[in-house]
Structure 1
Amino acid sequence: MWNAIDLVWNARGVGWDWGKNIHVPPKERGDSSPGSATSAIGHLESFVKVQILFDFVLFAQQSWTLYPSDTLPTHPAGGTIFDPTLPPLLRYGKVVAMTFLCPLGLCFSFQATYNAVAAFSIAILRQKPEQWPPLFHAPWRAESLGDFWGTRWHQVFKRAFITCGARPGFRIAGRAGGVVGAFFVSGLMHDFGTWGAGMGTDLSAITFFFTMMGVGIALEVLFAQSTGVKVRGPLGWAWAMAWMIFWGSLIVDAWARRGLIISKMSPDEYRPALYWAKVVQKWISLHGEPFAQ
């Protein structure tokens, strides 16, 4: 029974033979986690921290999304990250910022869920702290697309993508087909997830984004084979960030147009970002006049 419970949570296969080829990030420096109680408390503390950070990121996204109005009645009901009222430099600067905030918010959201489940599993189900290694491996340090998606982003669904996408794709078009196939299946999963939330699908943005991530990794492999130089270092980081932000703007806008950004993740009275905004507004109303003079 305990093995069955472990498999419910353990999508990366930590401690299982089938999970040996899935990258597991090393334990964070300074995280000793000597006992189950200490580890469970650490996960709870992390849950509170990242949940607060997630709410502030979501608040920023909701504040910067352009919603339909009397002057812009044709905009999607959920809003858009493309603001035609701004000059080009500010318009696309805002797109870059909104596209960056999306994965940042996802990191915090996934991490909060992971911490909550880990704390429950360690404290109540008596699992070992080693069964709950870090979820992410500093994705902001990725030096290539392959590095980002292969080791630094979470690997929770990797086995499913390899089984359903990479292996069939490899049989059809070799290594490149395997890479693109895995990301194509990932795109379909995210598209169906959006559909399951009642927001419809958008193959031309959501699935297309993930497919282009596979194309980008295939280009990195082709570059390495042609030049003998692997994509890495500062230039590799710049390339990876530019590729993800360029195509990422499509998926972020698709989610915005479908109302994902304006969704209520928690009641307003329990949102620290809204509470802080009210405090700031109150302070400005009391002390803002001297600064305006």
Structure 2
Amino acid sequence: MAMLWKEVTVGSIRAFRVVIPRPQDRVPITWSTAPQLLSLYLPIVFLAFLARRKDTHAIRLLLLPTVITSALMSGFRFTANVPQLNVYDWGLALLAEVIIAKSLQYAFTKEGMLKLGEQRPGEQKGKEVANGHHERETRSPSIFPAWISDAAELIHTMRGPHWKFAQGTYIPPHTRPLERHAFLRATATSFLTNFLLLDLLESAIKIFPGVGETKGGSIFYAELPIVPRYVVSTTIHILTGSAMLAGFGMVYDLFTFVGVLIFNTPPSAWPPGIGDPWRASSLHELWSRQWQQWLRGTFLVYGGYPGRWIAGDLGFVFGTFLASGLYHELAAYALGRGIDHTVTFFFFLQGPLIVAERIWRIATGKRVGGRWGTLWVYLVIFGAGQMLVNSWMIRGFGGGMVIPPVLSPVRLSLAALGFGRRH
């Protein structure tokens, strides 16, 4: 029995390492291996196609293990193999976790993935025709076959305003003119602003010794007295958070511009990607409205729904933030610097703190809000949040290349003036 158990254990570890190898054994992404990486995304496309077809529940469940295995391999088996590109390794892992969450949803939703007003995929409620079948929804003209457009829309929608699965997701109101040309101009201006801001912030982070290098370093410089030490760490923390916001905005602006200009989607389909986190007056408001909501469905699948099944509404809140922490930290394994559940703890901590806000409201009859509420949010994010950024910086996050130096106005300008190197 002991020998059998040993063989099973060794075999399981070897099988696991085929899918998720050790960091030093990952496959470098080259022109010859890139097709292998891209092919791993085909199963999720097929699953999304099936999720928009009637009576496919059984085959979706059978396909699920293949999709999950392919997603894990896409995120953890391949690497850019360049220390400066570690952020893209991390991005592949984050994408893999999103794909797995989507695949679980597609497979276990028995009726398939429905749009609002549908009772079966592609069949609007109350629109029966003479032969007893339901009328297909009207589609915009597309150069792609309907099944490709349908699957692509399902895969790429994150907040899903027109989908049943995403109901309850907060979407900020439009702030740009909805006339097409004016919208494109505003989006292009926003993209350029976010690009320049991200470039400035990324360049500033790389000034700090250790922190701005691929080898990594703590944001807390032990050689400094305690007050200057925390002034520096807070500065790095704010620069990092601001860079993330600028990066979110830049990428979303690019997708928005391409979607409207090239694919002719209406401007109304592209509401703001994020609210205004700086003005949040409670943690509940920050995480449910002002922060980006693209990953809300991912966290609910991994933790919110199981948590509710186990412990009701309290389990829903705790499970959602635990899933958020694990999502961010397990993907960081792709950085090749191990696992640090300090990150998991920070995100999980938001659950009890939001419950505390609810208890405050019950005890006092007043919501957390106003200036004191904003101060509370800043205390949590700029105080406790430093443990999160420190963990990432120690593992080389700050040394990663987001904007290539050849495209960086800040670094090109510094190089022209004789400061630093351009690579």
TM-score by length of 2: 0.60
In 2: Cα distance, 1:218 partner to 1:276 partner: 49
1:32 partner letter:
P
Give the drift of 1:280.
Answer: 6.4
In 1: Cα distance, 2:211 partner to 2:235 partner: 17
2:393 partner letter:
A
2:346 partner letter:
F
In 2: Cα distance, 1:76 partner to 1:52 partner: 22
Give the drift of 1:149.
Answer: 0.4
1:185 counterpart residue number: 323
Tell me, yes or no, if structure 1 residue 207 matches structure 2 residue 338: no
The residue correspondences of 1:1-293 to structure 2 (distance < 5 A) are 1-28=148-175, 31-35=176-180, 37-66=181-210, 77-203=215-341, 205-278=342-415
CA spacing shift, 1:174–1:17, aligned 2, 3 Å? closer
User: Which whole-Å deviations, capped at 9, do the CAs of 1:22-43 have from their partners, x for residues lacking one?
Assistant: 0000112xx21301x4433432
SS in 1 for 2:382: helix
Give the drift of 1:197.
Answer: 4.0
User: Which whole-Å deviations, capped at 9, do the CAs of 1:168-218 have from their partners, x for residues lacking one?
Assistant: 222333323211110110111111221234443211x11111111122111
Contact kept? 2:214, 2:398, Cα under 8 Å: no
2:202 partner letter:
L
5+ long unaligned stretches in structure 1:
69-74, 283-293
SS in 1 for 2:169: coil
- Normalized per residue, the structure richer in helix is 1
In 2: Cα distance, 1:197 partner to 1:76 partner: 10
After TM superposition, which residue ranges in structure 1, 4 or more long, deviate above 2 angstroms? Answer: 1-9, 14-20, 37-45, 64-68, 170-177, 196-201, 275-282
2:359 partner letter:
L
2:290 partner letter:
R
SS in 2 for 1:63: coil
CA spacing shift, 1:47–1:67, aligned 2, 3 Å? closer
- Further displaced range: 137-146 or 102-111: 102-111
Contact kept? 1:58, 1:105, Cα under 8 Å: yes
- Further displaced range: 46-55 or 151-160: 46-55
CA spacing shift, 1:42–1:76, aligned 2, 3 Å? closer
- Further displaced range: 224-233 or 267-276: 267-276
Contact kept? 1:191, 1:207, Cα under 8 Å: yes
In 2: Cα distance, 1:53 partner to 1:239 partner: 27
5+ long unaligned stretches in structure 2:
1-147
Contact kept? 1:180, 1:218, Cα under 8 Å: no
Contact kept? 1:40, 1:120, Cα under 8 Å: no
In 2: Cα distance, 1:89 partner to 1:40 partner: 46
Give the drift of 1:76.
Answer: 9.7
In 1: Cα distance, 2:382 partner to 2:403 partner: 28
Give the drift of 1:279.
Answer: 5.9
TM-score by length of 1: 0.86
Contact kept? 1:76, 1:257, Cα under 8 Å: no
Q: Percent identity?
A: 28
Contact kept? 2:282, 2:368, Cα under 8 Å: yes
SS in 2 for 1:235: helix
CA spacing shift, 1:95–1:24, aligned 2, 3 Å? same
1:212 partner letter:
L
User: Which whole-Å deviations, capped at 9, do the CAs of 1:96-119 have from their partners, x for residues lacking one?
Assistant: 122222221111111111111111
Contact kept? 1:66, 1:82, Cα under 8 Å: no
Between the two proteins, the alignment pairs up a number of residues equal to 272
1:291 counterpart residue number: none
In 2: Cα distance, 1:65 partner to 1:171 partner: 47
